[in-house]
Chains A and B, each alone.
Chain A
Amino acid sequence: MAQASAPMAAATPARDLGRDLAGLALILAAGLAGYWLFPDNLSFLTRLISVALLVLSLDLIVGYCGIASLGQAALYGAGAYAAGIACLNGVTEPFLLILIGAAAGAVTGLLMGTVMLRAHGLPQLVLSIAIVQLLHEAANKAAWLTGGSDGLAGMVPAPLFGLFEFDLWGRAAYLFGLGLLVAVFVALKLLVRSPFGMVCRGLKEDPLRVSALGISAFPVLLRMFVISGAVAGMGGALGAISTQVVGLDSVSFELSANALVMLVLGGLGNLYGALIGTVVFMAVEHVVAAIDPFHWMTLVGALLIAIVLFAPRGLSGTLDEAARILARRPRRAGP
Chain B
Amino acid sequence: MPAASLDVRGLSAGYGQTHVLEDVSFSVPAGGRLSILGRNGMGKTTLMATLMGLTRRYAGSIGVDGRDVTGLRTTGRARGGIGLVPQTREIFKGLTVEENLFVGLKDRPRRAIEEAYALFPRLGERRRNLGSQLSGGEQQMLATARTILGQPSILLLDEPLEGLAPVICDMLMAAFAQLASSGAMTILFVEQRLESALDFAEEVIILERGRIVWAGASAALRADGAVLERYVGVGGLH
How large, as a class, is the contact surface on chain B?
35 or more
B150-A213 in contact (CB<8A): yes
Chain B minimum-CB-distance residue to A195: B102
* A9/B150 in contact, CB under 8 A: no
Q: Are A198 and B150 in contact (CB under 8 A)?
A: no
Tell me if B38 is interfacial: C-beta within 8 Å of chain A. Answer: no
Looking at the assembled complex, report how far the CB atom of B110 sits from the nearest CB atom of chain A, in whole angstroms: 7
CB of A68 closer than 8 Å to a CB of B: no
* Distance from B211 Cβ to chain A, minimum over Cβ atoms (Å): 26
Among A113-121, A172-180, A204-212, A222-230, the stretch that binds chain B is A204-212
How far, in angstroms, from A267 to B224 measured CA to CA in the complex?
61
**What is the distance, in angstroms, from B170's C-beta to the closest C-beta of chain A?**
14
In angstroms, Cα B73 to Cα A11, docked, is 39
CA distance A216 to B75 in the complex (A): 6
Complex CA distance for A202 and B75, rounded to whole angstroms: 15
Asked whether any CB of chain B lies closer than 8 Å to the CB of A4, the reply is: yes
A212 adjacent to B74 (CB under 8 Å): yes
- Cβ of B94 < 8 Å from any Cβ of A? yes
Q: Within 8 Å CB of B130, what residues of A?
A: 4, 8
Known: A206-B90, A208-B74. A201 touches B99 (CB 8 A): yes
Check if B9 is an interface residue, CB within 8 A of chain A: no
In the complex, whether B103 has a CB less than 8 A from a CB of chain A is yes
Q: If A1-B165, A195-B110 touch, does A212 touch B99 (CB 8 Å cutoff)?
A: no
Neighbouring A residues of B102 by C-beta, 8 Å: 194-195, 198-199
- In chain B, positions 67-116 with a C-beta closer than 8 Å to chain A are 73-75, 78-79, 83-84, 86, 90, 92-95, 99-100, 102-106, 110
Complex Cα distance A209/B90, Å?
Answer: 7
| B106 and A201 within 8 A (CB) | no
B93 contacts which chain A residues (CB < 8 A)? 205
The reply to whether A4 and B129 form a contact with Cβ atoms under 8 Å apart is yes
- Report how far A135 CA is from B16 CA in the complex, Å: 42
Contact between chains at B129 and A8 (CB < 8 Å): yes
- A298 interface residue (CB < 8 Å to B): no
Q: Check if A214 sits within 8 Å of B129, measured CB to CB.
A: no
- Enumerate chain B residues within 8 angstroms of A10, measured Cβ to Cβ: 128
Q: Are B138 and A206 in contact (CB under 8 A)?
A: no
Specify which of A11, A206, A209, A213 lies most central, judged by the most chain B CB atoms within 10 Å of its CB.
A213
Return the CB mask of B184-195 against A: 1 if under 8 Å, else 0. 000000000000
Q: Are B106 and A209 in contact (CB under 8 A)?
A: no
B54 CB to nearest chain A CB (Å)? 7
1/0 contact string of A180-198 vs chain B (CB within 8 Å):
0000000000000011001
Contact call B168/A214, Cβ cutoff below 8 A: no
- In the complex, how many residues of chain A place their beta carbon closer than 8 angstroms to a beta carbon of chain B? 27
Nearest opposing residue in chain B for A203, CB measure: B103
CA distance A268 to B53 in the complex (A): 33
The CA of A5 and the CA of B129, in the complex, are separated in Å by 9
Once A8-B133, A202-B95 are accepted as A-B contacts, the answer to whether A215 and B128 lie under 8 Å apart by CB is no
Within the complex, the shortest CB–CB distance from B92 to chain A, in Å, comes to 5
Query: Which residues of the other chain, A, contact B100 by a CB distance below 8 angstroms?
Result: 198, 202
| Contact A202 to B92, CB < 8 A, known contacts A211-B75, A212-B78, A213-B103 | yes
B94, B137, B146: the one contacting A213 at CB < 8 Å is: B146
When distances are taken between beta carbons in the complex, the residues of chain B under 8 Å from A1 are 135-138, 165, 168
Q: Which of B54, B90, B133, B146 contacts A4 (CB 8 A)?
A: B133
Interface residue B134 (Cβ < 8 Å from any Cβ of A): yes
Other-chain residue from A2, A201, A212, A215 in contact with B94 (beta carbon distance below 8 A)? A201
Residue A12 at the chain B interface, CB threshold 8 Å: yes
B52 contacts the other chain (Cβ, under 8 Å)? Answer: yes
Determine the chain A residues whose CB is within 8 A of the CB of B209 once the complex forms. Answer: none
26 A-B residue pairings within 8 Å (CB atoms): A1-B137, A4-B129, A4-B130, A4-B134, A9-B128, A9-B129, A194-B102, A198-B95, A198-B99, A201-B95, A206-B90, A206-B92, A208-B54, A209-B86, A209-B92, A211-B73, A211-B75, A211-B78, A212-B74, A212-B75, A213-B78, A213-B147, A214-B79, A215-B75, A215-B103, A216-B75
Instruction: Please report B residues at the A interface, Cβ cutoff 8 Å.
Output: 52, 54, 73-75, 78-79, 83-84, 86, 90, 92-95, 99-100, 102-106, 110, 126, 128-130, 133-138, 146-147, 150, 165, 168
Given contact pairs A8-B133, A202-B100, a sample of 11 additional A-B residue pairs in the complex whose CB atoms are under 8 Å apart: A1-B135, A1-B137, A4-B130, A4-B134, A195-B103, A195-B105, A195-B110, A199-B102, A199-B103, A201-B94, A211-B78
The 8 closest A-B pairs by CB, nearest first: A214-B78, A4-B133, A1-B135, A198-B102, A195-B102, A202-B103, A214-B79, A2-B135
* A contact residues vs B (CB 8 Å cutoff): 1-5, 8-12, 194-195, 198-199, 201-202, 205-206, 208-216
